[in-house]
A and B are shown apart, each in its own frame.
Chain A
């Protein structure tokens, strides 16, 4: 067997069972790996009505067939579960070196189920897998726990997946880390892992990945690495990290300022990649086999947070913990907030999202200091933010309410429809630091349609809008049209989102970093197919390859359908459709823009073959993708979804 290891590891923490299950040729070809394997397991083994914290719920860690080879940026891991934040399908992906190590240990996927009586961690040493006591590391920050496990196992070179204190305290947006700082942030699987009393998985692998056609494979990899050397996006990402976007975002009006009320701030340069690399950057880091190296390591030198060090931040982490909360004057405050969310093991995007939502409730008078326990939630109040982040992680006072996510907190506080208006969330998850009124209407559409809880900058990642201009002719090559390159147009956007969603799903199945295939377009879809075929020895065609992506996407969509989430829930926050973008920076380019989501949705439905009324995947499409059993599941639900009682329900989360 080439490419894959051919087996998955299943650990049942209730019984202490360790089971190795073979993966058949048909199964591997159908789902490829990573997100594909995970989605299939979640769909089949976690029924929609089950609570995410149920001991029977699964959490899956999937790696791709090429993790651990020389192909560029193939160190990623996809973590999937039923999300405690949205209540629907949830997955997230992280970089680092753990993914490759899991492949060297000889597995394509790890499934954890059951619930341990006391805190434990899993130690995988190639074939030997054991469950070890973790009482002494419970409650520790990931960086301390990492060091302690390495000392205990007497090996500094192992790679460890860990959760932080927030996961242990069941904060609904807790995340997981590997290599201390590489986080799989969104959808809150850290809390699911915490609910199983699992602290982490330490891995040592001494095996290798077999490649079917090594010579051809190396030739392709060398060709791609050569392309990276002159790639315009790679240069920016290496020099400045993803913070290189700050100044661009500010100019184009999609840098969220005060919970997306504005699209920029005159002081944005305080936290730009340029400033960061001149002031606090200590070290540039790369994940496994990565020619881009967008990772940062920050050391704060001045001010009250002097001496703090951490891995990060990146754009999507720094923006919600900074400008979205109105913090910009002292960038060290932003780096400190990012460090804090990392250490406590929380998703920076959601943490910033809930706090900024609470700040806007406070601004509009929906809540007062009586609700917040005396905290004055003024924009830019760093003392309160610092305190609140810790309160959320340890579920204290007002933080306990926010720890359930913005949409749930709104209901808990009884703020009604007005409260939900300011959450800037779809399907219970707050949006990342991108305002689609400026970033592009394609992003807006994918926020409405994403299959991991609506909000998503990584489901379609239509960077043909963002960096497409740097690659002349690429839009025509992929989409047959140059017009979609302009962000604020609806022309060609539905097809762009459809195509990119399928492409991104395949990329996640291979567990290749999307910065190689979407941000930077050095690796095109055809290149991906070529190295995949050379590695695994298959002879897939381009259509078959993209069909895998479409299959994964439709399976996830069907999971939402089973939760009674369909066309009525395919919406974006009303702020984007009702409030024209105000001017906040005099050189802003998108003043007055709103998101015309209604124009794009019907066309997108047609490409996807979703039914216009319900928004469920059609029978025809599911059967064409070889998902007959899914079609059987979804068919009886259509009538229920269209019934009057369902129509009356307003669902913000599940």
Chain B
């Protein structure tokens, strides 16, 4: 079993991050696929590769801006993250990440939380100003 996400590291500068599918809704990998093997999955709303249709032309690999598509060394077909086939609790990598670098959260919820946090910042600032005065 091969990992569908990669940790890219620069040891010298102590930097690293997780490189994987960015879950595009208008995916370039699907747009360039000549056989329709790589297509938008209605369940997860991201691109999914059907290995039966894949001819191993590597177009998706080249066009993915995030380097998320890899070639299987034995079957010679492309493969990428499929959000664990739409698993209900989200992808397994988020469950096991020991440091919390990977987490699973729906964009709609995340964006709401972000807006709320802005409001909270204002409230905090106001309370602080009151305390000082």
Which residues of A come within 8 Å of B, CB atoms? 143, 146-147, 156, 179-181, 206, 225, 228-229, 234, 238, 282-286, 290-293, 297, 299, 309, 311
Which residues of the other chain, A, contact B15 by a CB distance below 8 angstroms?
A: 283
The 4 closest A-B pairs by CB, nearest first: A297-B14, A180-B11, A291-B98, A179-B11
Minimal beta-carbon separation of B115 from chain A (angstroms): 29
- Whether B99 contacts A284 by the Cβ 8 Å rule is yes
Q: Which of B11, B12, B14, B98 makes the CB contact (< 8 A) with A228?
A: B98
Chain B neighbourhood of A311, CB < 8 A: 11, 14
10 CB < 8 A contacts A-B? A146-B12, A156-B10, A179-B9, A180-B11, A181-B11, A234-B98, A283-B14, A285-B14, A286-B98, A286-B99
Contacts A206-B73, A291-B98 known; A147 to B14 CB distance under 8 Å?
no
CB 8 Å contact bits of B93-111 with A (1 = contact, 0 = none): 0001011000000000000
* Chain B residue at minimum C-beta to C-beta distance from A181: B11
Enumerate chain B residues within 8 angstroms of A291, measured Cβ to Cβ.
Answer: 96, 98
Whether A293 and B98, one on each chain, are in contact in the complex, defined by CB atoms closer than 8 angstroms, is yes
Summed over the interface, the residue pairs from A and B with CB atoms below 8 Å come to a total of: 40
Give complex CA distance A291, B16 in Å.
16
Interface centre among B11, B13, B15 (most CB of A within 10 A): B11
Q: Which of A206, A229, A238, A309 contacts B14 (CB 8 A)?
A: A309
Please name all residues of chain A whose beta carbon is closer than 8 Å to the beta carbon of B99 when the two chains form the complex.
Answer: 238, 284, 286, 293
Report the Cα distance A309→B15, complex, angstroms.
11
User: CA–CA, A146 to B12, complex, Å?
Assistant: 8
Count chain A CB atoms within 10 A of each CB in B12, B13, B73, B96 and give the residue with the most.
B12
* Assembled-state Cα–Cα distance A206/B16 (Å): 21
Question: Are B12 and A143 in touch, CB under 8 angstroms?
Answer: yes
In the complex, how many angstroms separate the beta carbon of A24 from the nearest chain B beta carbon?
28
**Chain A residue with minimal CB distance to B12?**
A143
A53 vs B9: C-alpha distance when bound (angstroms) = 35
A146 to B13, CA, bound (A): 12
- Point out the residues of chain A lying under 8 angstroms from B14, CB to CB: 282-283, 285, 297, 299, 309, 311
Query: Complex formed: what's the CA distance from A180 to B14 in Å?
Result: 10
Nearest CB in chain B to that of A228: its residue: B98
Smallest CB–CB gap between B18 and chain A, Å? 12
In the bound assembly, the distance between CA atoms of A284 and B98 in angstroms comes to 11
Q: Do the beta carbons of A292 and B12 come within 8 Å of each other? A: no
Q: How far is the CA of A181 from the CA of B13 in the complex (A)?
A: 11
Which residues of the other chain, B, contact A179 by a CB distance below 8 angstroms?
9, 11
Chain A, residue nearest B99 (CB): A293
Question: How many angstroms from the CA of A238 to the CA of B99 in the assembled complex?
Answer: 8
- A537 to B: closest C-beta gap in Å: 18
CA gap between A299 and B12 in the complex, in Å: 12
The answer to whether A292 and B98 touch (CB under 8 A), given A206-B73, A285-B16, is yes
Query: How far does the Cβ of B94 sit from chain A's closest Cβ, in whole Å?
Result: 13
| Nearest-Cβ distance from residue A144 to partner chain B, whole angstroms | 8
Q: How far is the CA of A181 from the CA of B15 in the complex (A)?
A: 13
Closest Cβ neighbor of A97 among chain B residues: B9
In the assembled complex, the CB of A2 is this many whole angstroms from the nearest CB of chain B, namely: 15
B13 closest partner in A (C-beta): A309
CA distance A181 to B10 in the complex (A): 11
Tell me if A290 and B98 are in contact (CB < 8 A).
yes
Return A298 CB to nearest CB of chain B, in Å.
8
Instruction: Please report the C-alpha to C-alpha distance between residue A39 and residue B107 in the assembled complex, in whole angstroms.
Output: 54
Shortest Cβ distance from A182 into B: residue: B11
> How long is the Cα–Cα vector from A292 to B11 in the complex, in angstroms?
18
Contacts of A147 in B (CB 8 A): 12
Question: Which residue of chain A has its CB nearest to the CB of B100?
Answer: A238
Tell me if B98 and A146 are in contact (CB < 8 A): no
Report B-chain residues with C-beta under 8 Å of the C-beta of A282.
14
Q: Mark B24-46, 1 if CB is under 8 A from A, else 0.
A: 00000000000000000000000
* Closest chain A CB from B87 CB (angstroms): 15
Give bound CA distance, A311 to B15, whole Å. Answer: 10
User: CA A477 – CA B87 in complex, angstroms?
Assistant: 39
A284 to B12, CA, bound (A): 14
Distance, CA A228 to CA B96, complexed state (A) = 10
Q: Nearest Cβ distance between residue A318 and chain B, in whole angstroms? A: 17
What are the residues of chain B within 8 A of A206 when measuring CB–CB? 73
Nearest Cβ distance between residue A215 and chain B, in whole angstroms? 11
**Bound complex: CA A167 to CA B12 (Å):** 20
A residues near B16, Cβ cutoff 8 Å: 283, 285
CA distance A576 to B73 in the complex (A): 59
Query: Closest approach, in angstroms, between the C-beta of B118 and any C-beta of chain A?
Result: 26
In the complex, which residues of chain B have a beta carbon less than 8 angstroms from the beta carbon of A146?
11-12
Q: How far is the CA of A285 from the CA of B9 in the complex (A)?
A: 10
A285 vs B12: C-alpha distance when bound (angstroms): 12
Chain B residue nearest to A156 in the complex (CB): B10
Chain A: minimal CB distance from B105 (Å): 19
Closest Cβ neighbor of A311 among chain B residues = B14
Closest A residue, CB atoms, query B1: A214
Q: Is the CB of A225 within 8 A of B11?
A: no
Residue of chain B at shortest CB distance from A312: B14
Known pairs A238-B99, A285-B16, A299-B14 / 9 extra A-B pairs, C-beta < 8 Å:
A146-B11, A180-B11, A225-B96, A228-B98, A283-B15, A290-B98, A309-B13, A309-B14, A311-B14
**What CA separation (Å) do A290 and B9 show in the bound complex?**
15
Q: Are B98 and A180 touching (Cβ within 8 A)?
A: no
Separation of A189 and B116 alpha carbons in the complex (Å): 57
Chain B residue numbers with a CB within 8 Å of A292 are: 98
Q: Which residues of A contact B73 (CB under 8 A)?
A: 206
**Chain A hits for B98, CB < 8 A:** 225, 228-229, 234, 238, 286, 290-293
Rounded to whole angstroms, the CA-CA distance of A293 and B96 in the bound complex is 13
A238 to B10, CA, bound (A): 20
Q: Measured between alpha carbons, how far is A293 from B99 in the docked complex, in Å? A: 8
Shortest distance from the beta carbon of A184 to any chain B beta carbon, whole Å: 16
Interchain nearest-CB distance for B31 vs A (Å): 28
| Distance (whole angstroms) from the CB of B86 to the closest CB of chain A | 20
Residue of B nearest to A283 (CB): B14
Q: How far is the CB of A223 from chain B (nearest CB, A)?
A: 12
Point out the residues of chain B lying under 8 angstroms from A238, CB to CB.
98-99
**Complex interface: chain B residues within 8 A of A181 (CB):** 11
